[in-house]
Every structure is written in structure tokens, then in C-alpha cells.
Amino acid sequence: MKKLIALLLTGTMVFSMTACGSKDEPATAPAEEQSGETAETESGAAEDAASGDAAAADITLWTYPVGSFGDAATVDGFVAAFNEKYPDIHVTVEYLDYTSGDDQVTAAIEAGTTPDIVLEGPERLVSNWGAKGKMVSLEDLWDEEALADISATSEAVVAACKAPDGNYYEYPFVMTTHTMAINYELFEAADALQYINEDRTWTTENFEKALQALVDYGQTNTGVVYCGGQGGDQGTRALAMNLYSAQFTNAEHTEWTMNSEAGVKGLQQLKDWADAGLLAFDAGIQAADELQLFANGTLAMTFCWNASNQAQYASQTAFTPYAVAFPSDDAVPELAGGIWGFGIFDNGDADKIAAAKTFIEFICDDEVQGLESVKATGFFPVRSSFGNPYEGTEDEERMATFGSFQQWLGDYYNVTLGWAEQRTEWWNLLQRVEQTSDVQAEADLYAETCNAATAAASN
């Protein structure tokens, strides 16, 4: 009897485990077979979205922490607003972080469990997953009106969302420029504010004078070229390339060019400052650590700043964080941009793709929700018709300051193929620059490795 019970229990255990592990196969045909149907459904979805009569579907959204899009309460509110208009589309949200988010997406792609929608920037949506054929073309969202509206703000945004194959894999809604920031009171005490122009730009020469003034004042921890990883690397890239107006890639985004004369001169300048004790390289920290050191007053400046950081760190600092452009030889900086929007993974389910597009249009373009979405990020709308969403709010002054940097928005070279390899090579290059006596050779090695990766990705 005991044996019989044991057998029954074991059988139940095995069965229940098998049952738990099973997964209902979606009742959809393979993607290839559905291509015609998908096209029809996609165009139909756009009409549905316009009429508010979208097909019912359960969709998932994975969001990187772009401003408050990493905050469940905020996003839940947006989903609730969406469901008031489209009650038949059920949206499940999962939150990624920049430490492990890419790994989660990679694992999901290989396991065939990607979400329907993902929120991030062109370097992931377009030049990585899009270029590898994992994303759905968003051509129908980019209608004439959207194209004109976004182009009026920046042609660079449009170009960044479009892959070399001619397809749009991202539908953007916000953008910003990345800057650096200084400790205003410390600069004032060291009499270094005189080196910053009224429009918050400065020359390389004056930047050096400011560093010297800080050191003379007794502030030995001026700034740190953080290179312990890829986090916040847009700051160190912008710093190195602006010093002598170098270009990070060629105009066609097919070649990495920081081994140019101007690029090497900038890297050499950083090394010279470090050797002279005016600045430091630190392979032990990344941008998040550097920001913390800036916020607690250890460092006099940070190279990783933007409107969102200003809002986030405002309450933590006992001084005034003062945003400034990166120094350049001609005081005309070229700032790195950030563009964020939505992409749709090609899961082969036409209904879900249509529902995902409906959701994206609502979050990005809806008269009321569109503005709320922009404000939640703390960045600027890509649509010129949205005007200034911060007008009349407590954020108006802060955002006006950061808005003034938009005029120096540079080329969005992040869409160059081989971007992932380049990111790793960049902080490794900085680590080597600190040690080497031949900056040109190290920059050549960096460019060679990155160009090889780009060539491999292009094939």
C-alpha cells in the first residue's frame, strides 16, 4: 500500500512538474508565412489606432529606466490611461536596468521570449537588434506628419532611427544633450568661473586654466576620466573628442576616427593633464561612481550630466551643480545626444504587433499622454509641435538651461555598426592611454579593432 501511495505521489510530482514547464504554443504561423498578413494587419492597426477600435491583445513592454519610465507607479498610470481608451489591449510591463538589461534581452532573443515593445535608443533598437533582423519596421508610424514634425526638431533624430536597410526600427519621443557639470561654489571660490563663457561654453585653453586654478586653490580632485566600464561613456567620449574638435566616426558612420590627428591630440591632452596632476584617470570607477563623488563634493566636476541627472541629484548636493558644455578649442562644442523611443520585436504575431503600435502611438503622440510621457523622462520632445512641455512648471528654468544646449547637438554616431565592441574598446583605450607613452599607437589599435568589428557587422 505504501508503495502504491509512493508511486502515485511520484507520478503526480512528475506530471505537475511537466505541466508547470509546458507552455502554450502561440497559434500563429511562422513569421515568413505571415509576412503578407502582417503587412495588412499593420496598416489596419494604424487605422484601428486612429479610430480607437484596436484588436484585443496581450502585449508586454520592457522598459529601460529612461527617467520615470523606470518607475512602476508612473508607467502603471500611463497604462491605465491607455486602457481607458483601449480596454481590450492588456499591457504587462517589466523593468530593465542598464547593468543587466541587455543580457536579459539577449537571452530573450535566443529563447524566443522577447517582449513585444522595448523602450530604449537607436544604438540598441536600430543598429543592434534592428540590424540583426529582430525588429519590426515601423514605417507606418513614421507617416508624413510625424516625419515633418520630428525633422523640424532635428534631422539627426530621424536619421538615427532609420537603419541602413531603409527601415525605421525606432519611433522616438524624447531627446536630450549630454553635458558636464561643475561645482559652482567651488569654482567661484577658486576664481575659476571667469573661464566659462556666458553661454556655458569654454575653450580647451580656459578649461586648463580652470583646472590649474582649482589645484592652486587646494582642490586636487578636480575631475576624473572614469574608465572602469562602459557606464556613462558618452561623457568621456565627448570630453576627448571636443578638446580639439575631433570626429568620433566618419560622416557615413562606417569608420571610427578617434585615431585622427585631432582625436589623438585630445587624448594626449587628457594624459598630459593627468601627468601634471590637473586631472585623473580612474579605471576603478564608472559614471555612476563619478556622479556620486561629484554629488558628495569630492570631485569638482562631472563629465556625465544631463537634465535628468540635474533633477535626480539636486536634492543630494550641498552645492549648486552648474551644467556646462564640454570644452573645445573653438568654444563651439559638439555634444553627444540621447534619443529614446520604442521598438517592436518581431514575434510573428500580427495582432500583437498591431496592438504594440497602437500603444506606442498613444504614449508618443496622444495630445495629452504625449506631453505626460515627455515630462516623465525629464528630457525634450522630438516633436516640434509639442513646444515646451515644461512651460509654466517648476522645471521651466532648469529645462530652459538644458534646452539651450540643444543648439550644439552633434552627430548621432551611436548608430555605427559594431557599437557594442566599440564601447568596450573605448574604456580600454582610456585605460591604456593613462599608461602609455605612445597615444597614437593605442588610438590606432582602438580604431583598428573597432573598424574590424564594424566591417564584420556590415557583412
Partner 1 sequence: MGNSLKRNRVLVWRETRAAYLFLLPALIFFLGFVIVPMFLCLFYSFFNYTMNDFSFVGLQNYVEMFGDPIFQKALVNTVIIVVVAVPTVTVFSLWVASAIYKMNAFSRAFYRCVFYLPVVTGTVAVSVVWKWMFNKYTGLFNYVLNGIGVIDEQINWLGDERTALACIILILFTTSIGQPIVLYVAALGNVDTTLVEASEVDGATKLQTFWKIKWPSIMPTTLYILIITTINSFQCYALIQLLTSGGPNHATDTIMYYIYYQAFKLNRYGYGNAMGIFLAVVIAIFSLIQFKVTNNGKND
Number of residues that bind partner 1 (CB under 8 A): 40
**282 lines the binding site for partner 1 (CB under 8 A):** yes
Rg over alpha carbons for the chain, rounded to the nearest Å, is 25
Query: What is the chain's length?
Result: 459
**CA nearest to 135, candidates 150, 146, 120, 157:** 120
Closest distance between partner 1 and the C-beta of residue 386, in Å? 35
**444 lines the binding site for partner 1 (CB under 8 A):** no
Closest distance between partner 1 and the C-beta of residue 282, in Å? 5
Nearer to partner 1, 6 or 56 (CB): 6
Starting from the edge strand earliest in sequence, which strands make up the sheet with 321-324, in order? 301-305, 179-183, 321-324
Closest distance between partner 1 and the C-beta of residue 228, in Å? 6
Closest distance between partner 1 and the C-beta of residue 238, in Å? 21
**276 lines the binding site for partner 1 (CB under 8 A):** no
Closest distance between partner 1 and the C-beta of residue 103, in Å? 5
Q: Which of 401, 428, 444, 445 binds partner 1 (CB under 8 A)?
A: 428
Nearer to partner 1, 408 or 426 (CB): 426
Q: Which of 70, 229, 327, 410 binds partner 1 (CB under 8 A)?
A: 229
Q: Give 24's DSSP letter.
A: P
CA atoms within 13 A on the CB side of 275: 11
Nearer to partner 1, 190 or 225 (CB): 225
**CA nearest to 413, candidates 445, 449, 454:** 454
CA 197 to mean position of chain CA atoms: 29
Q: Which of 305, 362, 402, 427 binds partner 1 (CB under 8 A)?
A: 427
**288 lines the binding site for partner 1 (CB under 8 A):** no
Closest distance between partner 1 and the C-beta of residue 61, in Å? 22
Q: Which of 75, 79, 175, 285 binds partner 1 (CB under 8 A)?
A: 285
What cell numbers appear for 105 in the block? 534581452
**12 lines the binding site for partner 1 (CB under 8 A):** no
Beta strands in 210-362 (DSSP E): 224-226, 280-282, 301-305, 321-324, 337-344
Considering only residues 125 through 164, tell me which ones interact with partner 1, judged by CB under 8 A. 132-134
Q: Which of 391, 435, 455, 458 binds partner 1 (CB under 8 A)?
A: 435
Considering only residues 351 through 410, tell me which ones interact with partner 1, judged by CB under 8 A. none
Which one of the spans 77-85, 102-110, 263-271, 340-348 is the region binding partner 1 (CB under 8 A)? 102-110
**92 lines the binding site for partner 1 (CB under 8 A):** no
Q: Which of 43, 92, 197, 296 binds partner 1 (CB under 8 A)?
A: 296
Q: Which of 219, 421, 439, 450 binds partner 1 (CB under 8 A)?
A: 421
**10 lines the binding site for partner 1 (CB under 8 A):** yes
Q: Which of 114, 137, 230, 414 binds partner 1 (CB under 8 A)?
A: 230
**CA nearest to 155, candidates 382, 417, 386, 414:** 382
Footprint on this chain of partner 1 (rule: CB under 8 A): 3, 6-7, 10-11, 13-14, 17, 102-103, 106-107, 109-110, 132-134, 221, 227-230, 282-286, 289, 293, 296, 298-299, 420-421, 424, 427-428, 431-432, 435
